[in-house]
Structure 1
């Protein structure tokens, strides 16, 4: 009985993990599509991208990146590049990073920026994009 119960729990956990992964993949796909749509709208309406920088953890300095795009959060900790990719703009920075700059890898975008953080720290991706370019979806 104990082995059967353990197998059932293991299978239930596996199924739950698959469902969570599928939900996350769907969320990332919707957010990616939204970012690509925004970048096209921004280019079409002349919203100038800016150089994106990375902030060190704990506010310890900044580093250049080769990226241009738009900051999605007012604290400049997330951004979308002109390539339509999502970037987390915080990292542990060394002195060398601050001098030479850093290269970032795109991350799967969330539909809610800062979800799970302190109250008031999260913002819907759609709201963040609307702040940057009001009415971008309607045109």
Structure 2
């Protein structure tokens, strides 16, 4: 391997480590925001609702065993009452529509929808704050 190749490989490795560290910090901060929201929502007796998964290509939905809050008006993301973050869209089969589906929690972002094709993104903090009743 040439010196140039070795240097490029090392630079790429360092870049990947820095990116991973930044993503880990973002996820920790987002998890803390969600945990604070769940505490405040519980204290405010904010009702949760059953969360459903919507199909990518139709208006069909599937039940989940989850209860929580939708973070976007299109119900594409939400958090459960335990503070787990979910993307609530999937390719649903007929079986999913009938029997339900159990989505897997994902690492939460600080900006929901960032980089998406629809151009609709929202800061996690704003999405959570708008769900809470106004402070008196």
Question: TM-score scaled by structure 1?
Answer: 0.92
Query: 1:20-39 maps to which residues of 2 (within 5 A)?
Result: 20-39=19-38
Normalising by the residue count of structure 2, what TM-score does the alignment of the two structures yield? Answer: 0.94
Structure 1 unmatched runs, 5+: none
CA RMSD after TM alignment:
1.6
For residues 76-102 of structure 1, give each alpha carbon's deviation from its aligned partner in whole angstroms, at most 9, with x where no partner exists.
Answer: 000010010100100110000000000
Q: How big is each residue's C-alpha offset from its partner over 1:118-138, in whole Å with a ceiling of 9 and x where there is no partner?
A: 4641000011011111457xx
Q: Deviations over 1:37-87 (max 9, x none)?
A: 101110110100000000011235100000000000111000010010100
The total of aligned residue pairs comes to 136
**Larger helix proportion, structure 1 or 2?**
1
2:108 aligned residue: 109
Cα distance in structure 2, aligned partners of 1:88 and 1:134 = 24
1:8 is matched with which residue? 7
Listed as ranges, the gaps of 5+ residues in structure 2 are: none
Using the TM superposition, give the Cα deviation of residue 117 of structure 1 relative to its aligned residue in structure 2, in angstroms: 1.7
